[in-house]
Structure 1
């Protein structure tokens, strides 16, 4: 089952006994801080969880999979995630 923002809000609300509005505001603010940070090109490191890294991709040659035609892919930014050792261990050992 996928963990959604709504489920995160419900879990935090039930564990910390905050109101639904307070919990929603906290989660929304956290996500907004993360988005603003990555928008500027900075990484987001959450100890014990992992690191969201912003990487710049250069212009490169690619291929249209539908037609097979060559094309140039424009430069862009991508976000990658590298999990921490603790998270990796927890995922692998259940």
Structure 2
């Protein structure tokens, strides 16, 4: 009788252990999915931040253009300066890509 009771207890423990391992595997899978989603969302946030920076740069360019349009005497000089800045920026970008 005592051996049967011990056997039942062992089977009960084994069943609980199997359930625990199954639950652990499921949790590990959900964790992996959550980590993938976090990486995806971080990439999205980074992309949106870059878009915001680009938008702010465009806004600054519009302000400069408005200034140029307001005073035709300085427009040629400002356009030349802008072109010079753009060339410098392009050089920096090319340097950083190498």
TM-score bin (small chain): under 0.3
Structure with a larger share of its residues in strand: 1
- The structure with higher relative contact order (CA 8 Å, sep 6+) is 1
Using the size of structure 1 for normalisation, the TM-score is: 0.28
Normalised TM-score (structure 2): 0.27
